[in-house]
Amino acid sequence: MDFLSRAEKFFINLTVIILILLLSVQILMRNEKAYNKLKQIEFSVKGLFQEDTAISVFNIEERVEEGFIAIELLQDYSLPQVWLVKNGQRTANFLDGSVRINVKEGDLLLLDCRFSNEVLWFEITELSSNIKNWYTGQVFRIHEEERKLGVVQFYDEL
pTM value?
A: 0.58
Q: What is the pLDDT of residues 24-58, one digit of tens each?
A: 878 777 777 777 777 777 767 766 666 554 444 44
Over 90: is that where the pLDDT of 85 sits? Answer: yes
Which amino acid, residue 91? Answer: T
CA 79, chain centre distance (Å): 30
Q: Which helix (H) or strand (E) holds 118?
A: none
Q: What is the pLDDT of residues 129-150, one digit of tens each?
A: 888 889 999 999 998 899 999 8
For 63-103, the DSSP string reads ---EEEEEEEESSSS-EEEEEEEETTEEEEEETTSEEEEEE
